[in-house]
Amino acid sequence: MATARSYSDACGMAHALDLVGQRWAMHVVRELLLGPKRYSDLRADLPGISTNMLSDRLSELEGSGLVRRRQLPRPSAAWVYELTEYGADLEPIITTLGRWGARSPSHRPDLPLSATAFVLSLRTNFDVTRATGLSASYGLRVSDLDLYARLEDGAFTVEPGTAPTPDATLAGMHDVLAGLIYDGRNFDDAVRGCEVSVSGDTEAARRFLTLFTLPDKVAPTPPTTSGRGPAPHD
């Protein structure tokens, strides 16, 4: 089920925007890429969305076959939302779009970022040129998420779960870890200040933080000087 607004265009891209082009739709999909969440979790992770908007987006995504609602087994018995296989196919589109957006000179990395968005940024911004010849496993505690990261022969994966025998384990709030990876915050200062905890091989943990790079920004477009009117039409 596409949304009530449609481009009425046979192009697959246009229909894709019918499905996920509404405000907040892709944010909801992004937040479910690491696994199921309760409605209250989605509401907390997307603080800018209203309850009515979130309900509308979830209903539309369910109707389009991208999201389903199910009840967890007892003793929890909570209802959660999760991506269907079709919905999960959006991950490479979201990560590619995220890296493309980060190239914009007007991108604001200082704005709030959810824990899920941070973890997805690791998948997006892994720099294979910095991992040549490295193999290691890591335990990550990112805010309230337990993750298992593996590096092997230049390939990187990070998934929800507990690392069985990690070379190093890093724990901290996602915004602190983002600062260490992307903003050049000092690792030793963060450890001394108890913002990050490390167990296992400290040098392996330090090396992990260097494996991710943001793309270069595109040059800003200079302002036009030929007047303020609209562009002429042929």
* Dihedral sign (CA 84, 86, 91, 97): negative
Residue 102 lies in a domain: yes
Domain count, the chain: 2
**137 sits in which H/E element:** strand 135-142
Whether residues 200 and 113 fall in one domain? yes
The count of other CB atoms within 10 Å of the CB of residue 101 is 11
pLDDT at residue 1 is higher than 60: no
Q: What percent of the chain has pLDDT over 70?
A: 94
Under DSSP, the state recorded for 199 is: E
- State mean pLDDT over 171-197: 96
Residue 230 lies in a domain: no
Residue 2 lies in a domain: no
Whether residues 67 and 117 fall in one domain? no
Residue 84 lies in a domain: yes
Dihedral through CA 199, CA 116, CA 157, CA 171, nearest 10? 0
Strands 168-172, 196-200: pairing kind: antiparallel
Check if the beta carbon of residue 166 is closer than 8 Å to that of residue 200.
yes
Residue 225 lies in a domain: no
CATH code, 179: 3.30.1050.10
Q: What does the mean pLDDT of the chain come to?
A: 92
Domain that holds residue 39: 12-89
Chain segment 187-210, per-residue pLDDT in tens: 999 999 999 999 999 999 999 999
DSSP codes, 13-61: HHHHHHHH-STTHHHHHHHTTTS-B-HHHHHHH-TTS-HHHHHHHHHHH
Name the one residue in this structure whose structure tokens are 């973890």.
119
Whether residues 195 and 103 fall in one domain? yes
Which residue, 89, 117, 134, sits at the end of a domain? 89
pLDDT: which is higher, 3 or 149 = 149
Q: How far is it, in rounded angstroms, from Cα 61 to Cα 64? A: 5
CATH code, 75: 1.10.10.10
